[in-house]
Amino acid sequence: MFSLQKLLGKDDKFFALLEASADEARRSVEALNRVLKSPQTTPSLSEFHQSKETDRKITDEINEALVNTFVSQLEKDDIEVLSASLYKIPKTVEKVAERMIIASPVLKGVDFSRHVVLMDSATQRVLEMVKLLRKLGSVKLEEAKEINGHLQQIEAEADKLILELLADLYSGKHETTRVLALKDLYELLEKVIDRCRDAGNIVTHIVLKNS
């Protein structure tokens, strides 16, 4: 039966796929946070690789659907940009896990609790924002801006945190190997939050265009 609802994009498969991608990004961060709470334990890379590969498959499915689907509430370019942005989150998380494995001998006693809180909050905000897309046309721009504002605040807190941590690293009380390893790790952790901020900005732009 002909479906006017599908023609208007109300049964839009891209909403579900983008939400699945955002959810996978959050899962990867949840896995990373479990590791960060016990930095003395060397993580297994398989879980993070699997999460990245799952999100890559979702991204591939989105790209295939873009070729075969002619009707969507979302513009093709917006779907591509947001999909790519979401995929970068688990991809960056996997890099963090790789560095933690390499640097495990010097991570004893490192406190990542503030990173855990920030990344958990950031991925939660991203998932909330992606779910807003289902309400395009009715969702208020202020709602998207409010959630994105929280993301911007989280990113600002992450910037302050890395400056504080770098100041400690460069204080002269740490061995060179530890300084180099932690600097690399801190920068990658900040990049995870930057990826979340980027995704939030893209969603806000999409809502703005459709408001």
CATH code, domain with 24: 1.20.58.220
Which pLDDT belongs to residue 149? Answer: 96
* Cα–Cα distance measured from residue 32 to residue 47, given in angstroms and rounded to the nearest whole number: 9
Q: What domain count does the chain have?
A: 1
The answer to whether position 25 is within a domain reads yes
Report pLDDT for 46.
81
**pLDDT value, residue 70:** 58
* Distance in angstroms (rounded) separating the CA atoms of residues 164 and 11: 47
pTM: 0.88
Residues of the chain under the 50 pLDDT cut: 1-11
Domain carrying residue 36: 9-209
Residues 6+ apart with CB under 8 A from 208: 141, 144
| Residue 66 counted as domain residue | yes
> For the purposes of burial, counting CB atoms within 10 Å of the CB of 193, is it exposed (0-12), middle (13-18) or buried (19 or more)?
buried
Give a yes or no: residue 2 inside a domain: no
Residue 3 lies in a domain: no
Predicted local distance difference test score (pLDDT) of residue 6: 42
